[in-house]
């Protein structure tokens, strides 16, 4: 489990982690508007050539122009990658997290903070244990886009927490989404309600370290076993997301949509087989694979089905598959 460790702090210091937070970098994408302008500017010259050509050439050239224009419009209407930053993430006393909303959440609903089940202030839930609607006054440091702490948010209760099948905790806050937006100009991150896809570019955003890890979804582990706990259909990262202690509970954000697809939770540190801090993958036939240095997250697409009007947890709702107490 990715909790803060003295070794992690030491390693980060040696690596110069006190510098500015890491962010995804790369060549700038082509400007669709510029491409469209160039296509429009090229059209008169093409039409001029058509005017002196034969009928077949005219037809062929016009078809080419229509195809080119359609492709240009297609490029313009495609969603561009979002700039992933720290806005809406939170720092906990021992982990990372984020202010999240369901696709159907209303602005005046009490806001929710998501982190890992193993980040609960009461310690790790036992295998098979599910905690619901438990009073809590836990606090969270709200970060803005630059990673600066701008507020302290407070929980009214732990709505849901478990390490069975998944590793997630959701706290209900004393503030609504509208109040957070009005006071600090920060929106909650939206949970995607569809299964993530292999090859998707993602960012793991740690509010604890104020650091962003960028990689892609490498694939999925049928079962991920660590010590006494087993998680289903876990996200496996490519090696670039080399998360460390303190990144537990970080939202895993789809770079293209800006929506949360998973919650970061663990990685195999020492190459051991299925021990604490050394999870192993188990396939449908019971075959075990150990991937030292590879890290994982738990999918969150199944969570929205379990919350109804007013962000109220209802594990009996149609489509809700989260474990029950």
Cβ-proximal residues to 266 (8 Å cutoff; 6+ apart), any chain: 1, 2, 167, 224, 226, 248, 277, 279, 295, 296
Residue 216 has a pLDDT of: 98
Residue 82 has a pLDDT of: 64
* Cα distance between residue 307 and residue 312, in whole Å: 5
Residue 4 pLDDT level (bands cut at 50, 70, 90): low
Residue 86 pLDDT level (bands cut at 50, 70, 90): very high
Per-residue pLDDT tens over the stretch 202-245: 999 999 999 999 999 999 999 999 999 999 999 999 999 999 99
Reference 111, options 160, 171, 177; nearest CA is 177
Query: Which of 18-32, 139-153, 275-289 is the least confident region?
Result: 18-32
HEC assignment per residue over the chain:
CCCCCHHHHHHHHHCCCCCCCCCCCCCCCCCHHHHHHHHHHHHHHHHHHHCCCCHHHHHHHHHHHHHHHHHHHHHHHCCCCCCCCCCCEEECCCCEEEEEECCCCCCCCEEEEEECHHHCCCCCCCCCCEEEEEECCCEEEEECCCCCEEEEEEEEEEEEEECCECCEEEEEEEEEHHHHHHHHCCCCEEECCCCCCCCCEEEEEECCCCEEEEEEEEEEEEEEEECCEEEEEEEEECCCCCCCCCCCCCEEEECCCCCEEEEEEEECCCCCCCECCECEEECCCCCEECCCCCEEEEECCCCHHHECHHHCECCCCCCCCCCCC
Q: Exposure of 14 by Cβ count < 10 A (0-12 exposed, 13-18 middle, 19+ buried)? A: exposed
Per-residue pLDDT tens over the stretch 173-192: 999 999 999 999 999 999 99
Residue 25 has a pLDDT of: 32
Please answer whether residues 85 and 258 qualify as being in contact, where contact means their C-beta atoms are separated by less than 8 angstroms: no
Mean pLDDT of 282-289: 98
Residue 32 has a pLDDT of: 38
What's the chain's average pLDDT?
83
Per-residue pLDDT tens over the stretch 29-83: 344 334 433 433 333 333 232 233 343 433 444 344 434 443 333 333 334 456 8
Residue 2 pLDDT level (bands cut at 50, 70, 90): confident
Please answer whether residues 251 and 260 qualify as being in contact, where contact means their C-beta atoms are separated by less than 8 angstroms: yes
């Amino acid at each position: 489990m990715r909790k803060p460790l003295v070794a992690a702090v030491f390693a980060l210091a040696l690596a110069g982690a006190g510098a500015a937070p890491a962010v995804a970098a790369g060549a700038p994408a082509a400007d669709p508007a510029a491409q469209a302008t160039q296509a429009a500017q090229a059209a008169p010259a093409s039409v001029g050539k058509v005017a002196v050509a034969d009928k077949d050439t005219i037809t062929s050239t016009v078809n080419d122009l229509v195809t080119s224009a359609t492709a240009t419009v297609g490029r313009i209407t495609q969603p561009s990658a979002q700039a992933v930053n720290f806005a809406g993430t939170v720092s906990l006393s021992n982990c990372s997290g984020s202010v999240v909303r369901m696709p159907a959440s209303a602005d005046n609903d009490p806001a929710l903070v998501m982190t890992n089940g193993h980040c609960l202030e009461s310690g790790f839930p036992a295998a098979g244990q599910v905690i619901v609607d438990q009073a809590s006054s836990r606090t969270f440091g709200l970060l803005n886009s630059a990673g600066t702490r701008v507020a302290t948010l407070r929980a009214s209760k732990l709505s849901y927490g478990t390490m069975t099948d998944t590793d997630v905790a959701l706290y209900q806050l004393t503030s609504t989404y509208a109040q957070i937006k009005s006071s600090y100009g920060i929106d909650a991150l939206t949970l995607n309600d569809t299964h993530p896809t292999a090859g998707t570019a993602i960012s793991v955003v740690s509010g604890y370290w104020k650091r962003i890890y960028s990689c892609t979804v490498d694939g999925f582990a049928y079962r991920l076993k660590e010590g006494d706990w087993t998680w289903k259909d876990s996200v496996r990262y490519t090696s670039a997301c080399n998360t460390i202690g303190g990144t537990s509970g970080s939202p895993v954000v789809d770079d293209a949509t800006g929506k949360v697809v998973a919650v970061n939770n663990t990685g195999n540190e020492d190459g051991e087989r299925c021990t604490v801090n050394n999870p192993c993958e188990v396939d449908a036939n019971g075959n075990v694979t150990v991937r030292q240095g590879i890290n994982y997250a738990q999918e969150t697409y199944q969570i929205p089905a379990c919350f109804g009007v007013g962000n109220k947890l209802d594990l009996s709702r149609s489509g809700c598959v989260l474990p029950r107490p």
